[in-house]
Every structure is written in C-alpha cells, then in structure tokens.
Amino acid sequence: MSFISKPKVGHPALQRNELGLWQRDYEGTISTLCAGCGHDSISAALIQTFFELSIEPYRVAKTSGIGCSSKTPAYFLSQSHAFNSVHGRMPSVTMGANAANSSMIFVGISGDGDSLSIGMGQFCHAIRRNLNMAYIIENNGVYGLTKGQFSASADIGSTAKKGEVNNQKPIDAALTAINQGAGYVARGFSGDKEQLVPLLKGALRHKGMALVDIISPCVTFNDHEGSTKSYAHTREHYHQLEQTDFVPPAEEITVSSEGRELTPVRLHDGSHILLRNVEKDYDPRDQAGAFAYLKNCQLRGEIPTGLLFIDENSIDFHERNNTIETPLIDLDHEDICPGADVLAEMLGRYR
Amino acid sequence: MGPVDTKNPDYYHKVVDCQWACPAHTDVPGYIRLIAQGRFDDAYMLNRESNVFPGILGRVCDRPCEPACRRVRIEEKPVAICRLKRVAADLRNDISDRLPKAPKQKNGKKIALIGAGCASLTVANDLLPMGYEVVIFEKFDTTGGLMRTNIPVFRLPPKVLDEEIDMIVDMGADLRLGHEITSMKDLLEENFDAVFVGSGAPRGRNLDVPGRYDSDRIYIGIDWLESVAFEHTDSIGENVVIVGGGNTAMDCCRTSLRLGGKRVMVTARKPRHLLKASDWELEDAEEEQIELLLNHAPLRMIIEDGKLTGMEFAIVEWHEDENGRLQSTELDRVILPCDDVILAVGQENAFSFMERDIGIEFDQWDVPVVDPVTFQSTREGVFFGGDAAFGPKNIIWAVAHGHEVAISIHKYCHGEDMTERLPDKVTMESTKMGMHEWSYSNDYDEGSRRLVPHVSLKERFKKLNIEVELGFTAEQAIAEVERCLNCDIQTEFEAKRCIECDACIDICPVDCLTMTEDGPEEELRTRLNAPSTNMEQALYVSEALPQTGRAMVKDEDLCVHCGLCAERCPTAAWDMQKSLISIPLAVDQPVCQKKRRNA
Ligand SMILES: Cc1ncc(C[n+]2csc(CCOP(=O)(O)OP(=O)(O)O)c2C)c(N)n1
Ligand code: SF4
Ligand SMILES: [Mg+2]
C-alpha cells in the first residue's frame, strides 16, 4: 500500500466534462489492494465511465458485499453514496435502496466469490426482479481476500497457486444471467479499457438489470501458469465478439466506411451501443442463439467478450410493479405513513 | 520509433530540465536535496564542482535553470533554485580543507590568462590543481571583472566575491593586478604554453542621437556602473533617464536611486514582454518604484544653454509586417525632463590590444573566430572564452566556457587531439528502500514558491552597500526544496517484466503513460492518453511488451516523479532510479604524459 496519496496535480491539457469536472474529481481514495490487481483497473474504467457520461457523483449509489472486489467502491467516486454490506448481500441492499429511491444510479460491485457462492441466490433473484442497476462482477476465479481458494468460477483443470487442481464445474455468471433473463449481459477484461468503458456506459444507461462480468486477474493468488484467469491466459484466449462504441443520445450515428456490419443497439435513454461485428453470425438480441454460442465457447475454453446479450424491451422492477416515481424521501409524511385508519383498512382486506 | 536507449547519457540528462538548461550542467536536484538535509558544506562543494562560484551565482546568476524547471509546466512558478544555491553558500562552514590544492610538483606548463573575470578564474580553478603554472593579467587593481565593476554592491557584496575568488587565487595563481595587456603580439612572444583571452565584453554600446556629445551628464551604462564601483562617482541628479530595457538598465536605475535619484525613469523601445531584462530584475526594480516607460524610442537630447534638461522620445506602437518582423509606428512625442541620462543599450567585445597580423582571425563584425568545441582561435594555443568568445552572455556561460577551455589547454599542452573529449556519462542507482519507500521525498508538495525576504524599502536606500535580498533561512529552504519534482529520479522501465496490468497507467496523476502500438514519433504522439503538447520533451518508448507486443510509452513532459507507477507495479518493471550525470572536467581527461608536444 502506498503511503502517499495520488498527487493533486493533473495534465493541464486535459478536458473537463459537461459538468465542468475533471476526471480526477471522479476518483476515490488511493487503493489498498495489491499492486497490479485487476480490480484497480476496473475502478479506473468506472472513473472514466462516470466522467465521460458527465454523471453527478452525488446521484450515484455504490453497493458491495465482501471481498477485495467489494472493497473497490472506496477507490472511485468518493463523492457518491455507498454501502459495503455483508458477504453476498449486495443485491438485497441495492434492492432496498432502489425501491426507496429509483432516481439514483445504482452500481453494485461484487466478486465471483461474493456472487456465485454465498450470494448466488440473491444474484439470481435480483435478475429475476429486473432491478435497475449495473451489476459488476470482478471475476478472478478465487477468493482473493481470504488468500486464494478456488471460487465457483474457477475452470476445471485450473490450478491454485500451490498446485491443487480444481475439478468442479464452473458457474458462468454471464450464462446464468442470460438464462435468468437479464436484459443486458456483457463480458469485459480489466486489461482492455477500450472495450470495457463502452460496455460500462451501456450498463449504466440500460434500464433494468445490466450484468458486466469482468475478468480481473488476482496478481497475488491467481496469475500463475496453471490459472485460466491470469493476464497471460486471458489475453491468449480472449475472443472479442464485436467492437463496441457508445454513442450518447444527442449524437448522430455515423456508419463507418470499413464495410463491416454495424449494428446500433438502442438504449432506454436514446443513447446507442454501436456494435461492429467481429464474429459474423453473432446476434446479441437472440437469447437462445447467444446462449448456445456462449456455451460452445465455454466448452472450447474460449473467453468471449463484448455485449453478449441485450433485450431492448426490458421492463424494470418499478415499471412492472407500477411504483411511484418520486423517491420516498421526497414524499410528505402523510403520504408515506397514511395513519392507523388506512392500515386497519388494508389489513381488513386480508381477513 | 523503436525502443529508446536510456543508456545514452543525454536521455536522462534532458529529463533533468534544470541541469540540462544550466550551461555548466550543475546537478541541481542533487545539491538542493543536500540543502534540505542541512548538509550545506556538501551542497556547496557539489555546486562548486560545476559552477565554481556558488555564493556569487546564488545571488546574480541569470538562472536559465528556472524557466526550464518542470514545475513551471505543472503550476506557475519554478523552484527558487538560484536562491537555494545562495543558502548553501551562506550557511556553510569553513570548507577550506575540502578545496582542491595545487601540487608542489608542477607539470612544467605555463599558461597566461588575460582578465581576472569569471572565465579566466574558472580556467585557473581547473588547471592549478593539475600542476599548471597560471599567470593572470588584470588591467584593474581588483579581481572579478564585470562581476565587480558592473554588478552593484547591493546585489553582490564584495565580501562574497573576494571569498570565492580567493579560493582560486590562493591555490597559487600568479595574479598580476594593474597589468594591462596592450599588445597581444608581445605577450605571445613570452614563453607561455597557451594563452587564454577572457577579457570580457567591456565596451558599452553608444547611442548616436542629436545632442549626445553636448553634455557631460550623459553616460554609458557599464562605464558609469564601473565608476560607481570604484567610488569615482557617488551622486547623480534627481531626475534620471535610463535608456534600455536590459539587466544593465535595471542595475543603473537601482544604483541611481541610491545616489540621489528621486524620479528614475527606465525607457525601453519595446513592449514589456520583449524586454531583455530578466523578469526578477524587472520585479526588483519595480518594487523600488522605478518608472518603466515602454514603447519609448529615443529621438534626441534636449540641451539648453549647454545644460542637459531632458530627452525626447517617440511613443510608438508595434505590429508585425508580412514577413513577421516587428515594425513601429509613431503615435506621439514626449520630452522627459532630466538631469542625467544613462545609456544602457548593450555591450560588445573590444580587442584593441590585439594586433590583426598575428594569425588570430576576426569575422566581419570584428568578433574573433573561435571553435565552438575547443574554444581555440585560428592561432594555435590561443583560446577565447566568456564574453570575449561569442559576445555578451552571462557569468554561468563564462564558467561553462572556462571548463571547456581548461580541457582544451590540457590536451593541447600534451599534444593530444582537442576534439577527442570524454563523453558525458550516466550512472543509475535504485532509490528503493522498502516496499513503498524511496530514498527521496517522492510526495508531491502543493506549496507555492517561497518569497525571499527583502530589506524594507525604508532601510535599503540608506547606504549603497546594503544587500537588498536577505536570503532564505534553513527552514524556508527546506520548504522550498520540497517543491522540487526530483527530475533526476528516473522512472526506469524493464519491458520483459511487464504483465500489462495497467496499474501504472491508472495511477499516474498526470497521465503520462500509455501502452500502445509503436509508431513514428509524430503519429505516436497523437495516440497518447494525455495530449502531447510539448515537442521539446522526449517520448520514452520501451521494447515490445511480452504479452501483446505493444510498447510502454512515456511522455516525459509532465512526470512529477512521484514514484507511484513503481509503487503500483506488481513485478517491479518500473523502478525509481537516481541518474547521476557526470560531465568530465579537465582533471578527468586522460592524457599520455610521454607524448610531449614539440614546441
Ligand atoms: C458470511 C461470510 N462468510 C465468509 C466470509 C469470508 N470471506 C471473505 S471474502 C470471501 C470471498 C471473496 O471472494 P470474491 O468475492 O471473489 O472477492 P475477491 O477477493 O476475489 O475479489 C470470503 C469467503 C465472510 N467474510 N463472511
Ligand atoms: S489478493 Fe488478489 S484480488 Fe485481492 S487485492 Fe490482491 S491481487 Fe487483488
Ligand atoms: Mg474473486
């Protein structure tokens, strides 16, 4: 851990965003994670994402569970709201906050351990309810914080640092999410911000559950030769399905002259994700096709990345349940707590 | 642009902007760090190695290092390098036992130095410890040349001058004061092995306007300063007009104030940003309520009944013509009433003592033809340096010349090729002390430049010799040194260790790192994480990285040397290493003792 904080100087030629803020205004405290941890690059990608989308930090709620990954909300957007919950419980805390105030921007940070073991139930149900949030899994194949035990995302045959071989089948977070009906499922790599940042932007702009599974190597416990989540292995088996660009609402979509097929995917707020297909026959709007394709990749040991699936007609929790738009905090006391008579009347309905 | 070779001594030297900009290449970060540690003697000695006159230069150096300081590019003001140098000189103890000494056994070579100014003294400083016999001829009865005659005592006290000059002379120079060389030919007939001309640029330029010769109260700036220095002049009228916008003009106006001037006006033909005077000299003059009259082009002296009563100027406006050259148009005319006029419009060399048929060639402007590397004239064994060589520059340039001349003389006297000089050298040493600990203060200090305390405006005019600047205290110096960005602690990168995790890229506060495909420099500069706006600053490009074949690219422009890239690097591909640049002096040059020149 560094003893000094990141100097408060910046490149004088850098631009401010629409709010007049510098990218530096979106940082958090200096990281206490191991030097080289993929999670830190994801924090940096999030900083860039929020900065470029000109989101006011105070409108953001960061939630997390337990793990090195779950510590990362401290390392970006220090001027936003945050809740570091118990292991595996990030989804339910987010659910509560989101139910009370749907006007905020929710970003949940979790790990493969946090979401795919102890939190697996919460993970699936948050998808099922279609919570409007960006759900980020910083996936390193191990429990980093507790010194590198295999997590549920570890591949068969991959080895731990000391040599034990994993022989249990992995849970693939993205496949699970597609299967559960999440409306936005993407996979990225901490070492490729060019792809990751547009995917994160899309996740924040999608209305409903947006899962981003990010391969994020644990340099300390899972960056060795037998690992399938190391920097080197990921780079070797990286399989980019499409090149991704994010186009904000007001901007016109220009089709490049490269001649490659270009698919604009419309997001709820009028922005677009522009996909330049690398894999010719891949259509991220076809749930069954995507599932089958990804399953095959998994069997071949490939790591497909990009926007894996999108449901442009996703209906989120609030819409489906016809809830009130006003955040509860802005309602008058009488509206939230209409009194004993109303309560008695409501209870009467169940008699 | 391919991998950059950081073993090339110039690469890291250029990163140390101050050291690179200093003509004598003083190891600035090195000595100011010593100052912060309270090691004033060590700081002084390190300084003296390259610039010879730390106490003098710590007061009056033209400080090319400061505009070059990286801090200027990060915030506004450079580190107060010059004033820190003075701290080392002011607060040091007796260092006489650490000074170089001349050996008893001489090497049999005898060198003549003309002028006892900074150039000659530097040559003497380098040659005396090597066993040379050195004779210094000086026309005045004092040493120091223009340092003594032209820099007013309230900026440079004689005590400081004497002390540092004595350090050299006391090594055993044969100093002949009051001995003017009137014939170069005669001198060359004496048995010197080499002759060095360090006689400066002692002639002030004239300004031939009507009335110029009709009064005895119109002076040439440097002559007037000289007569003040020698106490031949001790008063001036109440209204003084100085013509010229350079540093001499600043010295003249401030001196006038101390000799009775009440309304002192400095007139300059050009607008402020084109004045030759250093910013700080202008500031110091303005602090003393000098009237600075810009865009004033001199027309004539007003003489009434044989008495100077004023000077007329055209007030002009400047604009660029189609060739980009500045042209002026006259807007108005004005008469400035005054009792005295001082002309400070430049200086030139003067070689009246030099016959033109002795093999020393002069060019069309009557400037001697001097080799820019060896400083030898067209006559073998005759060398020029300081202002005498390439026209008026400043003290630190003269010192730099002196070192080079000493090398040439040494080689020449041993019959060796003077163009074969030792190259500069760089040695690297890691500063790593622990996991995230370095042997230098890596944290960025936000503090702004500390102001040097001055004697109050009430006090300072009471006597001519009250030194205006008081100098930093040790505590102020420590605070100021913290502002240094440690440009000599380099980010040394080893490509084969890199796992491309992005940690360094993410942490860098000034976004100076990028991992990207190599390419031609100009094009590569367009692909960096932060705009590359300063073409003068180098790009570092690594060898191909193991995993993706990309290169690590660093724009040296704004790096604050905080070491965070190295702290966040999991594989120690980055390390913070001190680069020590060694610039060879005469004593470092190996010569073959047997191969004597057949004279
Ligand atoms: C209820 C509970 N059970 C177990 C733990 C121990 N524990 C702490 S972190 C962790 C796993 C974290 O793994 P992951 O979410 O992948 O995070 P990483 O550190 O790998 O980023 C476990 C099991 C705990 N803190 N709380
Ligand atoms: S243990 Fe692994 S996951 Fe945790 S901070 Fe270190 S590198 Fe990152
Ligand atoms: Mg994990």
Q: Could you tell me the fold of the domain covering B103-202+349-413?
A: FAD/NAD(P)-binding domain (3.50.50)
Q: Residue B598's pLDDT is what? A: 44
Closest CB to B500: pick one of A8, A35, A231: A231
Mark which residues 12-31 of A lie under 8 Å from B by CB.
12-14, 24, 30-31
Read off the pLDDT band of A2 (50, 70, 90): confident
Q: Residue A253's pLDDT is what? A: 67
Contact A8 B446 (CB under 8 A): yes
The structure tokens listed for A299 are 């069997």
Mutate to test the pocket of ligand 1, among A43, A145, A190, A220 (most ligand atoms within 8 A of CB): A145
Mark which residues 35-64 of A lie under 8 Å from B by CB.
35-38, 40-41, 43-44
Is B204-346 in the same CATH topology as B103-202+349-413? yes
Q: Would you say residue A257 has pLDDT above 60?
A: no
Neighbours of B496 (CB within 10 A): 11
Identity of the amino acid at A267: L
| CB-based contact B599:B525 (threshold 8 Å) | no
Contact A12 B509 (CB under 8 A): no
CA B318 to chain centre: 31
Q: What is the pTM of this model?
A: 0.90
Helices (H), chain A: 38-52, 68-71, 90-100, 112-113, 120-129, 173-180, 193-205, 231-237, 287-300, 317-321, 333-336, 340-348
Name the residue of chain A whose CA is nearest to B507's CA: A6
| Strand order through the sheet with A272-277 | A242-247, A272-277, A262-266
CA-closest candidate to residue B315, choices B339, B291, B327, B299:
B299
As a CATH number, domain A23-350 is 3.40.50.970
How far does residue A69's CA lie from ligand 3's centre (Å)?
7
Contact B73 A2 (CB under 8 A): no
Q: Residue B75's pLDDT is what? A: 87
Q: Parse chain B into domains and list their residue ranges.
A: 103-202+349-413, 204-346
CA-closest candidate to residue A205, choices A67, A50, A11:
A50
Q: Would you say residue A145 has pLDDT above 80?
A: yes
CA-closest candidate to residue B8, choices B579, B524, B498:
B579
Q: Parse chain A into domains and list their residue ranges.
A: 23-350
Q: Residue A280's pLDDT is what? A: 74
Q: Residue B593's pLDDT is what? A: 60
A247 CB near ligand 2 (under 6 Å) = no
How are beta strands B551-555 and B437-438 bridged, if at all? Answer: unpaired
- Domain B204-346 in CATH: superfamily? FAD/NAD(P)-binding domain (3.50.50.60)
- Give pLDDT tens digits along chain B (599 positions): 889 999 999 999 999 999 999 999 999 999 999 999 999 999 999 999 999 999 999 999 999 999 999 999 998 899 999 999 999 999 999 999 999 999 999 999 999 999 999 999 999 999 999 999 999 999 999 999 999 999 999 999 999 999 999 999 999 999 999 999 999 999 999 999 999 999 998 889 999 999 999 999 999 999 999 999 999 999 999 999 999 999 999 999 999 999 999 999 999 999 999 999 999 999 999 999 999 999 999 999 999 999 999 999 999 999 998 998 989 999 999 999 999 999 999 988 889 899 999 999 999 888 899 999 999 999 999 999 999 998 888 999 999 999 999 999 999 999 999 999 999 999 999 999 988 899 999 999 999 999 999 999 989 999 999 999 999 999 999 999 999 999 999 999 999 999 999 999 999 999 999 999 999 999 999 999 999 989 999 999 999 999 999 999 999 999 999 999 999 999 999 999 999 999 999 999 888 765 444 43
How far is residue A134's CA from residue B469's CA, in Å, rounded to a whole number? Answer: 62
The structure tokens listed for B180 are 């003017």
| CB-based contact A109:A72 (threshold 8 Å) | yes
